[in-house]
Amino acid sequence: MMPELSQVVVTVSGAPVSRAPRCSGVYRFYAEDDALIYIGKSVDIHARLLSHFNEATHGARHHRMMSQVVRIDCELTSGEVGALLKENAAIKAETPLYNRRQRRLRRLWTIVLEVHPSGFLQPTATSFATDGDRHQDCYGLFGNQKAVQSHLHRLARDHGLCLQVLGVERGSGPCFQFQLKRCDGACAGEESAQQHNARLTELLAEERINAWPFAQPIVLLERNTLSLAEQPEAQYHAVNHWAYYGSASTVSEAVTLFDSAGRADFDRDAYRLLMSALRRGKLSVFDSRSKQEIDNPLLGEIRTTL
């Protein structure tokens, strides 16, 4: 029989409460024997939980999941960004039964652009270490070098780029694709290096992974001036080279996460969340060394996607 929200034990950080919070945070569904079956997030946990029970009346999979729920634990955040970051990290670390499986790839490849003596930008496949530093812009994440080459061939085919000046194929003079009218002529002098480079960078822009724009790890302040009694008014998110280390209630506590949490891996979803929040100015930026607020160099930057 399908339980209702009023029949399920609701806790906040393990402590029982009479009603699900009406604020932002992450929630976890537990079955018998405290088996974790689902992790979600919302800006209004109470409303989202009600929708889960309503959805269970329409879909077999959702009905099967909700019929197992005996306890819902809520972890409150000061805002949506914290909820998104925490949910993303928790799903990948705790692997609940009903969340979509997200496989972590430890060996990845990406594209970096190097300037050839001819003036043409040439894309090079390079290893992307998930635990590495991000000192230069790179483009896309791929499972192997062959996937990089396939991607470059597809871009050239669809947009008239020249594989020869890109360094993907060898040769001199007009390339074979130019003879077939599939290359716009960079190899034949009909398109300048500046024009070809501009088209290449525009095509790759949607896959760009920005270089880390700070000289040190940073702490991001998320504040909620309209918080409920039990909701944190502010939270500090520790981030370095786009890797999320966790959140704390003070900037000093957040700084300690860089040492206590070990080296955190780059995560594409966390990168997207952080870039979006920084570009929209939703978070204040603090230097992890001085613990003083600093400028946000990404504020207002045109949004691209990875």
3-state secondary structure of 109: strand
pLDDT by residue (tens digit) across 196-218?
999 999 999 999 999 999 999 99
Q: Which helix (H) or strand (E) covers residue 125, if one does?
A: strand 121-129
Is pLDDT at 229 greater than 80 in this prediction? no
Give the mean model confidence (pLDDT) for residues 8-24. Answer: 95
The token duo for 231 is: 């909701």
pLDDT recorded at residue 104? 61
User: What is the pTM assigned to this prediction?
Assistant: 0.89
> What is d(CA 1, CA 63) in angstroms, rounded to the nearest whole number?
10
How much of the chain exceeds pLDDT 70, in percent?
A: 96
CA pseudo-torsion sign 92, 94, 97, 103:
positive
Mean pLDDT of the chain: 93
Most distant CA atoms of the chain, gap in Å: 76
